[in-house]
Structure formats: structure tokens, C-alpha cells
Amino acid sequence: MNEKKRIKEISDELSITNILDKKVSILSGGQRQRVAIARSIINDPHIILMDEMVSSLNPSLAKDIINFIVEFARERTKTIVLVTHNTQNLSNTF
């Protein structure tokens, strides 16, 4: 998959397509967190390390992001190391 297609796919999934040209200083905490998630997976790493990856997101969006990351890892046979204090969003995911 070429770089532009990968950026488009990931930014669409994380709902950040409309902020790709914005300065970080004007982004909300949740937007910054989603950009950080995109940065962590854009180069297709073998292992994905995530510490409180959805802590500043609303519960619905957090669940969507976790489902996306899990599906991303499954499709590409990646390992995820996930640290979180909120396990509500993880039920039925793994």
C-alpha cells in the first residue's frame, strides 16, 4: 500500500482527516491523541505499544478506536501491548 493511501485510510478510521493540515497547538486533547495513534501505526510496526491510548476520548469514540486498532493488528498479524486503567472499552474486544 502506498503512503498516501495508508495515510488516508488511517486518518479516515481515526476521524482526523479534517485536521491533517492544522497546527498541533490548536488541536484538542482528543485530536492530539488520535494523531499520536495514527503516528504510532502509520509505518506498519511489528509491535504496537499503547499507554492509555484513549484516555482523553469520549467512551463511544474510545471504543471505535480500540476496535480499529485491534482489527488493524489482526489483519496485519501485529502484537499490541496495551496499558489502560479503563477496561470498559475492552470487553469483547480480545
| Nearest Cα residue to 52 out of 14, 81, 19, 23 | 81
pLDDT number for residue 26: 95
pLDDT number for residue 94: 56
pTM of this prediction?
0.81
pLDDT number for residue 90: 62
Q: Locate the DSSP E strands across the chain.
A: 47-51, 79-83
Q: CATH no. for residue 39? A: 3.40.50.300
- Count up the domains in the chain and report the number: 1
Place of cell 482489527: 71
Q: Which domain holds residue 48?
A: 3-90
Residue 36 three-state SS = helix
Q: What is the rounded distance in angstroms from the CA atom of residue 59 to the CA atom of residue 54?
A: 9
pLDDT tens for the 94 residues of the chain, in order: 688 898 999 999 999 999 999 998 999 988 999 999 999 899 889 998 888 888 878 888 888 888 888 898 899 999 989 887 766 656 556 5
